[in-house]
Chain A
Amino acid sequence: MYWISFKRIIKSGFFSFWRNGFVSLSSVFVMVIALGVLGSIIFLGALLNSSLGALQEKVDVNVYFVNNAEEPEILSLKTKIETLPEVGFVSYISREKALEDFKTRHENDATTLQALDELDENPLGAVLNIRAKKPSQYEDLANFLKGDNILSPTGKNIVEKVNYNQNKVAIDRLTSLMASAQKIGLGIMIVLILMALLITFNTIRLAIYIAREEISVMKLVGASSTYIRGPFIVGGMLYGLIAGIITLVLFYPVTAWLGKETANFFIGINIFDYYISNFGQIFLIIIVSGVVIGAISSFLAVRRYLH
C-alpha cells in the first residue's frame, strides 16, 4: 500500500512537472539564480580565504641570535617554540646559510661584498623564522620570546633581537583587516543566502498558488494530506535538481572566464581550477541545497491550502 502510494506520488510529481511546463520552467530559472548566488558564495569564500591566507604567509617573526650562540642551544629553543600551540612553522637558518643568503642577495653589490670580505669572521648570527597560525597570535609569540623562556640552559641570553616590534604596525593592521574582511564576507554571505531562500520560496509558493483549486478538489475526493502534498514535494525537488544541474553547467564557462580575468587580481587561487578540483563537493552542495530548498518550500506552500 505504502509502496503503491509512493510510486504514484513520484509518477504524479513528474507528470505535473512536465505538464505545467511553463510554471516549472520559470521556477527552475529562478532557482538557477538562487543556486547561482549560493555557488558564488562558495567561490567568494574560497577567494577570500586564499587571498587572506596568502597575505598571512607574508607575515613572520624573526629571532636573531648572537654570534656566539651554540647551535644545539638554538635547536633546543626551536623545539621549545615548536611545541607552542600558536606556532605554525619554524625554520632554522644557520650562520653559514645566513651568510650565503646575504651574499646571493647582494651579488650585484660589489662594495658590500668587499666590505664583507674585509671581516675575519662571519658577522651574521643564526636566525629562527617563525610563522604563527593566525596573525593575531604574533603578539603572544613575541611576549614569549621576551621572557626567561629563551635563556639557554647555561643561563645566558643568546637572542640578539626579535623583529616583532618593527613589524608590529603592519601585523596589527593586517590582523584587523582580516577580521573585518571575514566579518563582512560572512555578512554578505548570510544576506545572499537569505535572498536566495526567499526568492525560491516565493516562486514555489506562486507555482502552488496556481494549483490551489486542484488541492481543494483533491481534498474533496478524500485524498489524504500526504497524498496531496507528495507530488508537489516531488515537483519542488525536481525544480531544485534541474536548476542545480543547469547552475553547475553554467559555472563551467563563467569560472573559466573569471579565472582568466582575475588571475592577477587575487593572489594564490584560480577560480576555474578551484571549481574543477572541488567539483565533487560543489556538486553536492548545489544539488542537495536545490533539492532540499525545493522540497521544504513546496511542503510549506502546500500546507497553507491543506488546512
Chain B
Amino acid sequence: MIYFDNVSKIYTDNSIALQNVTFSIEPKEFVSLVGHSGAGKTTLLKMLLAEEKPSEGAVFFESNNIQKLRKDQINKFRRNIGVVFQDFRLLPNKTVYENIAFAMEASGKTDSEIEGDVPHVLDLVDLGHKIWSFPHELSGGEKQRVAIARAIVNQPDIIIADEPTGNLDPINTYDIIQILKKVNDLGTTVLLTTHNKGVIDSLGKRVITMVDGKIVRDDKEGRYIL
C-alpha cells in the first residue's frame, strides 16, 4: 500500500535527514515508528503527506508516486489520509462539530452526510457531549480525541499519528492508543510515531526503529529498543 523506495533526504545545509530508506506498509497494518528526535521520523511522515520531496528515491501510495502529484491531486490525496499531531492542530475558532465537519466539507460531503457522521464519529471517541464546545474549553486528551475523530471521519485508508500522546498524561495516553487500536481493528492502516516505550511494548505490533536517518530494525512484533 505504501512503499518507500530507497529514499534519501539531504537538506540544503547538507544535513542528512534520511538515508536509503526502503520499507513498505501493507493494508490494515499497525506500524510504529520509533527513534530519537532528529532520527528522521517527521521527515518521513512529511513525505507521505506530500509536504516534502525526497532528494533521491520515491514514495508510492498504491501505485502513485506521491511526489509527482499535481496540486489539486495532492488535495484529493490528503483526504485519503487522516493526520493526528502532538499539538492537536484543531481550528481554534470552530466548535468540535465544525472542526470535524470541516474535514468533510473539504472533501465535498453533503450536509446530510455531515449531520449524520459527525455525531457518530464523536460517539466513537466518547465525546458526544462536547459537540458544541470550542477547543480551548477541552482538556488535552479531549482535544486529541477530537483530532482523531477528524482524522477518521472521512474513512481514510491510513491514519498517520505523529507523537499523538506526546502532550498527554498516562491515562489519556492509554485512551488514545486504545482508540487507534480500535480504528485499526475496523480496518484502517495506522502509522504511529512515538517516544513512549510503554506504548510500544504494550502494543505488540510491527516496530520500525530509526537512527540517524536510517532504518536499523524492523520487527514484526517489536519492542522499544534504542
The answer to whether A20 touches B102, judged by C-beta atoms less than 8 angstroms apart, is no
In the complex, A10→B106 CA distance in Å? 14
Stretch in B75-83, B121-129, B201-209 with 4+ CB within 8 Å of A: B75-83
A18, closest chain B residue (CB): B93
The answer to whether A19 touches B93, judged by C-beta atoms less than 8 angstroms apart, is yes
Q: Which residues of B sit under 8 angstroms from A213, Cβ to Cβ?
A: 89
A217, closest chain B residue (CB): B89
Stretch in B53-61, B107-115, B178-186 with 4+ CB within 8 Å of A: B107-115
A228, closest chain B residue (CB): B106
The answer to whether B77 touches A222, judged by C-beta atoms less than 8 angstroms apart, is yes
Q: Which residues of B sit under 8 angstroms from A1, Cβ to Cβ?
A: 108
The count of A-to-B residue pairs whose CB atoms sit within 8 angstroms is 56
Asked if A227 meets B110 with Cβ closer than 8 Å, knowing A222-B75, A222-B76, the reply is no
The answer to whether B93 touches A221, judged by C-beta atoms less than 8 angstroms apart, is no
B42 vs chain A, min Cβ distance (A):
14
Q: Which residues of B sit under 8 angstroms from A19, Cβ to Cβ?
A: 93
Q: Is B226 positioned at the interface, with any CB of A under 8 Å from its CB?
A: no
Beta-carbon contacts under 8 Å, A1-17 to B: 1, 4-5, 8, 15-16
A265 vs chain B, min Cβ distance (A):
50
Q: Is A218 positioned at the interface, with any CB of B under 8 Å from its CB?
A: yes
The answer to whether B93 touches A224, judged by C-beta atoms less than 8 angstroms apart, is no
In the complex, A217→B102 CA distance in Å? 11
- For the complex, count residues of B whose C-beta is within 8 A of A: 26
A5, A15, A221, A227: the one within 8 Å of B78 (CB) = A221
The answer to whether A227 touches B89, judged by C-beta atoms less than 8 angstroms apart, is no
Task: Give the interface residue-count category, chain A.
Answer: 20 to 34
A15, A20, A214, A227: the one within 8 Å of B105 (CB) = A227
Q: Is B159 positioned at the interface, with any CB of A under 8 Å from its CB?
A: no
Q: Which residues of B sit under 8 angstroms from A5, Cβ to Cβ?
A: 105, 108
Contact with B along A55-94 (1 / 0, CB 8 A): 0000000000000000000000000000000000000000
Q: Is A249 positioned at the interface, with any CB of B under 8 Å from its CB?
A: no
A4 vs chain B, min Cβ distance (A):
7
Asked if A224 meets B72 with Cβ closer than 8 Å, knowing A19-B93, A213-B89, A214-B92, the reply is yes
The answer to whether B111 touches A4, judged by C-beta atoms less than 8 angstroms apart, is yes
Q: Which residues of B sit under 8 angstroms from A225, Cβ to Cβ?
A: 71, 75
Q: Which residues of A sit under 8 angstroms from B76, Cβ to Cβ?
A: 222
Q: Is B91 positioned at the interface, with any CB of A under 8 Å from its CB?
A: yes
Q: Which residues of A sit under 8 angstroms from B94, Cβ to Cβ?
A: 15
B156, closest chain A residue (CB): A222
A16, closest chain B residue (CB): B93
A221, closest chain B residue (CB): B103
Interface centre among B106, B111, B150 (most CB of A within 10 A): B106
Q: Which residues of A sit under 8 angstroms from B98, Cβ to Cβ?
A: 15
In the complex, A213→B87 CA distance in Å? 11
Q: Is B49 positioned at the interface, with any CB of A under 8 Å from its CB?
A: yes
Q: Is A223 positioned at the interface, with any CB of B under 8 Å from its CB?
A: yes
B143 vs chain A, min Cβ distance (A):
13
B49, B93, B110: the one within 8 Å of A220 (CB) = B49
In the complex, A186→B72 CA distance in Å? 46
The answer to whether B102 touches A221, judged by C-beta atoms less than 8 angstroms apart, is yes
Q: Which residues of A sit under 8 angstroms from B72, Cβ to Cβ?
A: 224
Q: Which residues of A sit under 8 angstroms from B78, Cβ to Cβ?
A: 219-222
B93 vs chain A, min Cβ distance (A):
4
B18 vs chain A, min Cβ distance (A):
21
The answer to whether B93 touches A20, judged by C-beta atoms less than 8 angstroms apart, is yes
Given contacts A221-B103, A222-B76, A224-B72, 9 further A-B contacts (CB under 8 A): A1-B108, A4-B110, A15-B94, A214-B93, A217-B89, A217-B90, A218-B102, A221-B78, A222-B79
Q: Please, could you name 24 A-B residue pairs with CB atoms under 8 Å apart, sorted by A?
A: A1-B108, A5-B105, A8-B105, A15-B93, A15-B94, A20-B93, A214-B92, A214-B93, A217-B89, A217-B91, A220-B78, A221-B106, A221-B150, A222-B76, A222-B79, A222-B81, A222-B106, A222-B107, A223-B75, A223-B102, A223-B105, A224-B72, A225-B71, A227-B106
* Interface positions of A (Cβ within 8 A of B): 1, 4-5, 8, 15-16, 19-20, 213-214, 216-225, 227
* Interface positions of B (Cβ within 8 A of A): 49, 71-72, 75-79, 81, 83, 89-94, 98, 102-103, 105-108, 110-111, 150
